Amino acid sequence: MDPLSEVLSLLRIRNYHSASLTLGGAWAFHFPRKEGIKFTAVAKGSCWLHVEGEQLPQRLQQGDCFLMTRGLPFTLYSDKSQRVLDADAHVQTLAANELSLHYGGDDVQLVGGRFDFTGTPAQLLLGTLPPVVHVPGNEPQASILRWALERFIGELQHKRPGRSLMNEHLAHIMLVEVLRTHLATLGSHGIGWFFGLADRNLNLALSALHDQPAHRWTVQALAQRANMSRSAFALRFKQVVGTAPMEYLTHWRMLLASDRLQNSDDSVSTIAFSLGYESESAFSSAFKRVMSQSPRHYLREHVA
């Protein structure tokens, strides 16, 4: 799999719910901080979105979608001169995982879903994203996001067998489409994992690391994959991704290891050898350096 697919495959959904907003006239609602990420589509009308900490609000048009990545407080409004109301005081709970807000009419309609992703890779993915990723309605990804949101809400409402697995896949589809949109907008200047993926040469090296994490990689071998000289590759990788190539490989191996410790019955030694370590002690030392605790301590702490 490609690096983005590899990382996404390690994410698990813990909690999720849907929300629909039907609004009319002049209004403004404040939504408090809530953990998780939020996908929203504008099904009808237009409004403004202002996320706490951002200097400027964003105009949302019918067909647009957006992803909020950090659970920050935000305000939706039709008219910024309006007194801001507390959204929680107007939200109705239709079911355990279904919320609704109706106010003043139906000029504007939004549908959304909120998810809590678990797993260490969530930090790798979401920690480097901006607080809001806006997908305009004329982007190809927007139609896919709207379709997936509609299916997600339908699964919650109809409660058919297999809905948990279906919603996990739908959440991944929505996340992939938003991340693709974000990758397409990145320039050549910036530091972080996504900038590495967006770099044509570094992407080749990252793909090799993710495809064969147990391989005894060297900087020279990775530079050849990236069609660069060793020195130029090492410098470029550190400048763009933010870590040295071998340090990145160790971190990726530990993400794989932490996932297997939580979600498989494999022993520590089995995991160690499968990830290219010649001894359990060498693996344990690397794991403790990256994860700040030993594999066995991690296992006791994260597995019920």
Q: Are residues 46 and 96 in the same domain?
A: yes
Is 49 found in the same domain as 24? yes
pLDDT, residue 225, reads 96
**What CATH number does the domain containing 92 carry?**
2.60.120.280
Domain limits for position 180: 3-185
Please name the residues in contact with 262: beta carbons below 8 A apart, sequence gap of 6 or more: 119, 299, 302, 303
For residue 300, what pLDDT is reported? 83
| Prediction pTM value | 0.74
Asked which of 185, 209, 224 is the last residue of a domain, the reply is 185
- The reply to whether 214 and 115 lie within a common domain is no
Asked if residue 211 lies in contact with residue 1, where contact means CB atoms within 8 angstroms, the answer is yes
Q: Could you tell me if 188 and 174 are in contact, meaning their C-beta atoms sit under 8 angstroms apart?
A: no
DSSP string, 93-117: EEETTEEEEEES-SSEEEEEEEEEE
How is the beta sheet containing 58-60 ordered, strand by strand?
Answer: 58-60, 47-51, 74-77, 28-31, 85-86
CA 66 remoteness from chain centre = 13
Q: How many domains does the chain have?
A: 2
Q: Which of 144, 168, 185 is the last residue of a domain?
A: 185
The CATH number given to whatever domain includes residue 256 is 1.10.10.60
pLDDT digits (tens), the chain, 304 positions: 778 888 777 777 777 888 889 999 999 999 999 888 888 999 899 999 999 988 889 999 999 988 888 889 999 999 888 999 999 999 998 877 788 999 999 999 998 888 887 766 666 666 667 888 888 988 888 888 889 888 888 887 787 888 778 877 888 888 888 888 877 777 667 778 888 888 889 999 999 999 999 999 999 999 999 999 999 999 999 999 989 999 999 999 998 998 888 888 899 999 999 999 999 999 999 999 998 999 999 888 776 5
Q: Are residues 135 and 211 in the same domain?
A: no
Residue ranges in the chain assigned as alpha helix (H): 3-8, 121-126, 140-158, 163-185, 193-198, 200-211, 219-225, 230-241, 245-263, 268-274, 280-291, 295-302
Domain termination site, one of 185, 220, 242: 185
Whether 156 and 51 map to the same domain: the answer is yes
pLDDT at 298: 87
What's the pLDDT at 119? 65
